[in-house]
Chains A and B, each alone.
Chain A
Amino acid sequence: MKFAVLVFPGSNCDIDCYKAVESTIGQSVDYVWHTATDLSAYDAIIVPGGFSYGDYLRCGAIAQFANVMNEVKKAAEQGKYVLGICNGFQILTEAGLLPGALIRNNGLKFRCHSTNLEVVNAATPFTNQYAEGDIIDIPIAHGEGNYYCDDETLAELKANNQIVFRYACDTNPNGSVENIAGISNKAGNVVGMMPHPERAVNQLLGSEDGKGMFTSILNAWREQHGAAVNG
């Protein structure tokens, strides 16, 4: 299985994502610069955290028009796995690949600490190694992670089981609607989340609860491509 980790000017979680793929599932992974015009070689695309284009205007507003984003849209349509983490989530909402928007934390502070997440949907390609209702310890680090969508969109998210993670037990760090920490698109192959699973893959980092996301993706890919496929 082949992973791409996108790199925009201002990305700063790209190396963590790359290392997390290597250390958790040992699959092939490449950094792909924002000018790339072909992602056809990859099965999964990670849009990492950071401050792409300095977060000028709005987080993710300028990154959505990078060349590589056309390819991300194509990959998403083809059913490939796309995971946006933190700034990556903001970019995916700006690009229209996920509904809603991420606005300023309601407390105005940059929140950087571990959080407990409830796995709301364990049937996605990103969460199949968890059980519904599992509480996992994954850190956050953001100033604009307050998920907002209108009531109509929220009803749709619920009806289609698109809420993937919630901040557990009402420990909402940023004011997100219904404690939402991560959502998927309708098809389930695109997920965006504010918490950083790539920073929770080793006990030395305080938690290894994020490993399950990477093993989930590999598991989903193997199921899709037949268990005999090596890689």
Chain B
Amino acid sequence: MKATVYVTIKENVLDPQGTAVQGALHSMGFAEVNKVRIGKYLEVELDTNDRAEAEARLKVMCEKLLANTVVEDYRFELEG
């Protein structure tokens, strides 16, 4: 089973990289860009067919390591 994990910076935490990319897009003429936030995308292959178990264990992985919940949010999708 394959999991896709998205880790994003919490709304109330500044994202200076996103702000810099937004500035670059503006200078390129993309004036419509109101906001850019940069996050992380992880592909995790799991050796299990039990969806419920996979979800439960992924949640622990995210809470403990993949995201720092002080400053980041996470969500994941399961395929297969």
Contacts and interface: CB of A to CB of B under 8 A. Distances in A.
A107 interface: yes
Contacts, number: 35
A150 B69 CA distance: 12
B55 to A, nearest CB: 21
A61 B71 contact: no
Contact of B16 (A93, A100, A101, A106): A106
A105 B16 contact: yes
Contacts of A94: 68
Contacts of A100: 70
B65 interface: yes
B17 A108 contact: yes
Interface residues of A, number: 20
Given A57-B65, A65-B65, A149 B16 contact: no
Contact of A148 (B13, B17, B66): B13
B4 to A, nearest CB: 16
Interface residues of B, number: 12
B20 interface: yes
A150 to B, nearest CB: 8
Contacts of A65: 65
Nearest to A58: B68
A65 B20 CA distance: 33
Nearest to A109: B16
A73 interface: no
Contact of A61 (B13, B17, B20, B68): B68
Contacts of A93: 70
Nearest to A100: B70
Interface string B39-77: 000000000000000000000000001101011000000
A105 B70 CA distance: 16
Contacts of A57: 65-66
Contact of B13 (A62, A103, A107): A103
B1 interface: no
Contacts of A61: 65, 68
B9, B65, B70 — which one has the most chain A CB atoms within 10 A of its CB? B70
A104 interface: yes
The 4 A-B pairs of least Cβ separation, nearest first, read: A101-B70, A101-B71, A106-B16, A108-B16
